[in-house]
Amino acid sequence: MQLRNFYILFVFILPHMINAQHSSVKDNIDSVKVNFMYSYYEQDGVHSPVTGGIGDEELYDHGRRISVSVPLRNNINLSVLSGIDVYTSASTDNINDEHDLLLTETSASYKDERKYSSIGLEKKNKQGYIISSNAGFSKEWDVNSINYGISLTHLSKNENTQIRLSTSYYKDKWDLIYPYELRPFINDTLEDIKRSFNASLMFSQVINKRLKMALSIETVSQNGLLSTPFHRVYFNDTTHTIERLPNKRFKIPVAMYSSYYMNDRSILRFYYRFYTDDFDINAHTVQIETPIKISPSIVISPFYRIHTQEESKYFEPFAIHNPNAEYYTSDYDLSGFNSHKLGFGIKYSPLFGFFNKINSQNNQTKIKFKKLEIRTSKYFRLNKDGVILKAYIATFGVSYVIN
């Protein structure tokens, strides 16, 4: 059976499997929660790093994801997540020469899939401590990844104060695929492993009946293959080679979040994030969202996000780099730019659910749909040369519980 067909079967059959298992658990344990999300993403631009900072960046991505939360005995919760992204990319299709029929991997990345899954356990004790752990993997056409994580959370007696410490490890194993015309000339062998170590501390506090605030700080240490082997870089002497970056990188993001209850119908949510790393990138992000209740079961949420970023010391546009430089990239994700994201969401969540399935034997609710949510947004990235990358994002999500 193809993975896609298995995934569709998994989405529809899993709730019934869980329900059969859940019926043997004590009645006082919480319901099983299921969330399904479909996402669509498209973008268009002219700064592809595959062709040295010029070229088509057109991309389309369709994603499906399902997550299930199953309560077990002794305040233990099991969570499972699985997803698949199907995408087409015009830029990565330029890794190979489409006219060279001898290259068996020609256009390998033009249309591909990314598959991922993770599993987690969470336990809460009577002293207000929550310990959780998770492990996962993902597989794409040129990289396989695994990850592990653990976190410890403490809640105050009234649950108005929360402190959370978490750490995680990621390991990416790359297939070293070079641009077709450079393959005979790449003499050195790059490391094919990338490792990332993350540690974060989050503190949240209910200030009063109207205001809640949170502060987080994170450190990210990366080593190994931090460049992309099939990204080209063109020098100012008309020669070109593959992208090269240091094998170590250290990042520090600091974020602040606040939620202010304005009245019975609206909330003001504010988010600010500062980012810095040793590639000399400094960035600021601000997002404002205002959920507005227009009926007891319908909430609309307009939001706006602005991001500004300084360019890395290793970045130069097409044909500007010095061939004597040690490190170089023309990936515009590492350039200086300003971006804007404007969007709108709508959530439908009636008090007693909708499309409820009733058990005919005891006339009790068996499956209850709790929430239906749609979010859509437009994204614009303005680079220093005045060129704009445009993107459109849409997500559809549905949540339900099984009693």
Three-state helix/strand/coil letters over 357-385: EEECCCCEEEEEEEEEEEEEEEEEEEECC
Rounded Cα gap, residues 197 and 250, in angstroms: 10
Least confident residue range of 2-11, 31-40, 113-122, 234-243: 2-11
pLDDT tens sequence across 342-401: 999 999 998 777 777 666 566 565 778 889 999 999 999 999 889 899 999 999 999 998
Q: Is pLDDT above 70 for 10?
A: no
User: DSSP E strands: which ranges in 187-265?
Assistant: 193-206, 211-224, 232-234, 240-242, 248-263
Rounded Cα gap, residues 371 and 397, in angstroms: 8
What is the number of H-type helices and E-type strands within the chain?
1, 20
**Which pTM was predicted?**
0.86
Which residues 6+ apart lie within 8 Å of 401 measured at CB?
31, 32, 33, 34, 367, 368, 370
Give the closest residue to 236 by CA, choosing from 320, 330, 325: 320
Kindly state the average pLDDT of the residues 59-75. Answer: 93
Rounded Cα gap, residues 84 and 393, in angstroms: 17
- For the domain made up of 3-402, give the CATH fold: Porin (2.40.160)
Sign of the Cα torsion 82, 9, 370, 80 reads: negative
Question: Which tokens belong to 401?
Answer: 């519980």
- Identity of the residue numbered 99: H
- The DSSP output letter for 281 is -
pLDDT at 98: 52
Domain ranges of the chain: 3-402
